[in-house]
Amino acid sequence: MTVYDFKVKAQDGSEVSLSEYKGKVLLIVNTATGCGFTPQYDDLQDIYTAHRKEGFEILDFPCNQFGGQAPGDDEEIHSFCTGRYGITFPQFSKIDVNGENAAPLYNRLTENTSFEGFGKGPKALAMNAVLKAVDKNYKSDSSIKWNFTKFLIDREGNIIGRYEPTENMKNVAAKIEEALK
Active-site residue set = 35
- 8 A C-beta contact, residue 86 and residue 2: no
Looking only at the bridges linking them, the beta strands covering 56-62 and 150-153 are unpaired
Q: In a 3-state reduction of DSSP, which class is residue 101?
A: coil
Of 100, 117, 120, 105, which is closest to residue 5 (Cα–Cα)?
A: 105
How many Å apart are CA 33 and CA 9, to the nearest integer? 19
SS3 of residue 151 by DSSP: strand
Distance CA 54, CA 33 (A): 28
